[in-house]
Amino acid sequence: MATLKQVARWVPSHWGAGHLVLAGFLALLVLAVSPVIKLDLVVNGLFLGAIIGLGAIGLSLVYGILKFAHIGHGDFMTLGAYFALFLLSDLFPRIGLTGAGLGPFTFGYPLLLALPLAMLAMAVVAIALDLGIYRRLRRRGVNPVVLAMASLGVAIALRGVVQIFWGGGTEQYPRVSKLFYRLPMDVRIPPDNLFVGGLTVVLVVALYLFLTRSKMGKAMRATSDNPDLARVSGINTEHILWWTWAIGGALAATAGVLLAVSQAQLVPIMGWRLLIPLFAAVILGGIGNPFGALVGGLIIGVTSEISTQWLNPSYKPAMAFLVMIIMLLFRPRGLFGAKD
């Protein structure tokens, strides 16, 4: 019987991440033009993947810099989405800000205002949770698994907070139904997905510039690579952690709002349900690699959409899990992860 290590050798060891991505894209291209796969699923899978990717970028940064699996990340998304709901359906109408159906989209211009506020709120919540809970455990020098355990408690408590204020039912942002765009080859795109795609590109470019050009971004990457070396080089690692949480929280809020817009509904369990795809994307991209996480998210999104052609759509989270398990078997460090 072939052992796991022998099986893993089937992937040529000299293959770098570039080869794998290229092979993946080629496979996707072949599949997309073949009559086997509906192009519609591939295209809309990319938009779902962008949302997963936005959540996964923050998760991967936290994982890489704080070195623990932040189970509460899905519920960060939920809380961000519900905070925007509070603004859109409670606070804004009171000061006369209402509207839906802006241009081709289902939502109105208040959402463009609510989104940055939700990002800011989640950045603050994330930092506050770190100061109140994670930092205290860190100072005690606990094992990373204990931190992950604490974040499970945070996840449950956050969902409890959402349910205390909004109940357990489904909610909606103010919206006007719009017709889908019809493209050749039976591709139908909901107009909101253009917003999803556009915003993802803008945020990812901004994050790229931040991480590569700014001093703080460079310091973050240094801390992720080697925390001790970063500290002796004079980097204030506490500040790095704050920035990490702020970026992670803000991106999680964005992903939550976009998910609520594209699915046209909010439920308290929406973020928890996305936790498996999020972690799958992080592991696919290599822990601590934000752009790998985005690529991982896109792969997970497309794979789970394509699977609905043969499987019951409710198996989508299981597909993400399957992709993750295959990755753990053959290349546990991820597509772009550094060699140990």
Partner 1 sequence: MDIIGNLDYNIAFVVVAAIYAVFALGLNVHWGYAGLFNIGIAGFFALGAYTSALLTKASADPRLFEDFKFGGNLAASFEGIPVVGSLDLWFVVALLGAAAVCAVVALGIGFLTLRLRGDYLAIATLGIAESIRLVFLNEKWLANGSKGLYNIPRFLGDVVAPRNYDYLFLVVVLVVLAILYLAVERITKSPWGRVLRAIREDETTAAASGKNVFKFKLQAFILGAAIMGIGGALFAYNVRFLSPLTFDPLLATFIIWAMLMVGGSGNNKGAILGAFIVWGVWTRTQFLPRFLGEPEFRLFLIGFIIVAVMLLRPGGILGEGRKVSRPAWQQKTASPET
Amino acid type, 314: S
Structure tokens at 317: 């989270």
Residue 138 beta carbon to partner 1: minimum distance, rounded to whole angstroms: 12
Residue 81 beta carbon to partner 1: minimum distance, rounded to whole angstroms: 17
Q: Report whether 315 contacts 275 (CB < 8 A).
A: no
Could you count the other beta carbons within 10 Å of the beta carbon of residue 287?
A: 22
Q: Map tokens 């989405």 to a residue.
A: 81
Residues 6+ apart with CB under 8 A from 255: 51, 52, 54, 55, 77, 80
Residue 277 beta carbon to partner 1: minimum distance, rounded to whole angstroms: 10
Amino acid type, 29: L
If one asks whether residue 189 binds partner 1 (CB under 8 A), the answer comes out as no
Backbone angles phi, psi at 298, to 5 degrees: -65, -45
If one asks whether residue 314 binds partner 1 (CB under 8 A), the answer comes out as yes
Residues 6+ apart with CB under 8 A from 303: 45, 319, 320, 323
If one asks whether residue 156 binds partner 1 (CB under 8 A), the answer comes out as yes
Q: Which helix (H) or strand (E) holds 189?
A: strand 187-189
Residue 160 beta carbon to partner 1: minimum distance, rounded to whole angstroms: 3
Exactly one of 145, 201, 206, 229 binds partner 1 (CB under 8 A); that residue is 145
If one asks whether residue 330 binds partner 1 (CB under 8 A), the answer comes out as no
DSSP, res 274: T
SS3 call for 29: helix
Is 94 exposed, middle or buried, given 0-12, 13-18 or 19+ CB atoms closer than 10 A?
Answer: exposed
- Here's the x/- map for partner 1, 15-54, by CB under 8 A: it reads as ----------------------------------------
Exactly one of 21, 148, 187, 194 binds partner 1 (CB under 8 A); that residue is 148
Exactly one of 150, 266, 270, 306 binds partner 1 (CB under 8 A); that residue is 150
Amino acid type, 297: G
Exactly one of 95, 164, 179, 232 binds partner 1 (CB under 8 A); that residue is 164
Q: Which is nearer to partner 1, 249 or 337 (CB)?
A: 337
If one asks whether residue 321 binds partner 1 (CB under 8 A), the answer comes out as yes
Q: Which is nearer to partner 1, 149 or 194 (CB)?
A: 149
Binding window for partner 1 (CB under 8 A); candidates: 113-121, 145-153, 211-219, 231-239: 145-153
Outline where DSSP puts E strands in the chain. Answer: 181-183, 187-189
Q: Report whether 252 contacts 76 (CB < 8 A).
A: yes
Question: How far apart are alpha carbons 54 and 60 in whole angstroms?
Answer: 10
- Here's the x/- map for partner 1, 50-89, by CB under 8 A: it reads as ------------------xx-x------------------
If one asks whether residue 312 binds partner 1 (CB under 8 A), the answer comes out as yes
Exactly one of 60, 324, 331, 335 binds partner 1 (CB under 8 A); that residue is 324
Binding window for partner 1 (CB under 8 A); candidates: 15-23, 31-39, 120-128, 322-330: 322-330
If one asks whether residue 131 binds partner 1 (CB under 8 A), the answer comes out as no
If one asks whether residue 242 binds partner 1 (CB under 8 A), the answer comes out as no
SS3 call for 99: coil
If one asks whether residue 114 binds partner 1 (CB under 8 A), the answer comes out as no
Specify the long-range contacts of residues 17-25, CB closer than 8 Å, at least 24 apart.
Answer: 17/292, 17/335, 17/336, 20/331, 20/335, 21/295, 21/335, 24/299
Interface with partner 1 (CB under 8 A): 68-69, 71, 133, 136-137, 143-146, 148-150, 152-161, 163-164, 167-168, 272, 275-276, 279-280, 283, 312, 314-315, 317-318, 320-321, 324-325, 328-329, 332
